[in-house]
Amino acid sequence: MPREETAGVSLREEIMEVAFEQWTEQAREYRCVSSRLQRFPTLQGDGIG
């Protein structure tokens, strides 16, 4: 495989790895916030009205 193609593959792999890391970090933060909100039922509207 020519050097340019190898570099392109490596760059694509790096981009995919970074994107995956960002996606998993966002999912982890969402689960953390979601679990915290579930501890406070009044924030979900149970105590409103």
Q: Who's near 37: CB < 8 A, 6+ residues apart?
A: 43, 44
**Tokens 């982890």, residue?**
28
H or E segment at 29? helix 3-38
What pLDDT tens digit does each residue of the chain (49 aa) get?
555 566 667 888 899 999 999 999 988 888 888 877 777 666 555 555 5
Give the closest residue to 14 by CA, choosing from 2, 6, 26, 25: 6
Give the closest residue to 19 by CA, choosing from 9, 7, 31, 11: 11
Query: What are the residue ranges spanned by the domains of the chain?
Result: 3-41
pTM above 0.85, yes or no: no
**Tokens 């570099």, residue?**
7
